Structure 1
């Protein structure tokens, strides 16, 4: 059977396979590559888990392994491993909103917290805050409700920037707190000054043109319908799916 475009290539699988949990004893589990392709199919199409085709194995196996490995931190370690040698000289920061589907908006009875959802101009949305490198590859990610201002998550993302780097961000990141956090790591924040700012900072319009790479990153992950629209009730599952897709972006680079 011919490989479908959303399935892992041989090169991608060669990178990912050694980073997955190794279970030498016990009952043999369903083929990892087959299950991963099923997980990718689910998020690529935005379908429910029950609709995962039989060629990928039982749909319950795809769901259970995705959640079990998320709880075990497998997807976090996978992204960290493939992105360990990223180009940190130039990094870009930005955010994007994903609409929350009605099926993902309902929570369990008695559940507290915003579950990474909030009201914004687009209705009920989640917001992904991202830091990408000079090749548009994701380095650090954070998920919040759609109403959360970009600057609120910037300082946490800045911690992932190596010293001496250059940070590109739009005017939404022009605050003294963000500039101070960047300066503390010897990072130059190339951010345009707000019109009402009294203290002006050096800014390079030529370098700022590279910021479109973070927009391209958002466009890439939103080709997956299960990411462009959030169907998952659990924010941890939704962020884990994004990290898995981001790991694949690194493998394909």
Structure 2
């Protein structure tokens, strides 16, 4: 859903009482057992913070319910109409995508490569009897210096 806002160059609107009064009559699918305003607030919270559905605070209800209504409201056209109405009010920018800094290192042990190449003969693979990990060593992890 964040892509939807990015494509349209919109911020995530804040759902005020005034905004809710404008969009409530437009709702196409009403959640059962959950207040529609709470569902809308939960979806907007997810977009505003960038948290995964499963990490939403419990007071919004079940994440699966919010996700279901986000999909239904987009498919029905309600989402676009509601956001267009709310876009005239205050909004917040989308959070920047999280991209952890990583470092991948590789070292080659020349002696092992030479030994395996010298042991190779026609029709016989060069690394017979050796594990690839002996010749190549890889290490990957988060680099605090790059964050």
Higher RCO structure, 1 or 2 (CA under 8 Å, sep 6+) = 2
Q: Which structure is larger by alpha-carbon Rg, 1 or 2? A: 2
Taking structure 2 as the reference length, what is the TM-score of the superposition? 0.48
Q: Structure 1 or 2: larger helix share?
A: 2
Taking structure 1 as the reference length, what is the TM-score of the superposition? 0.29
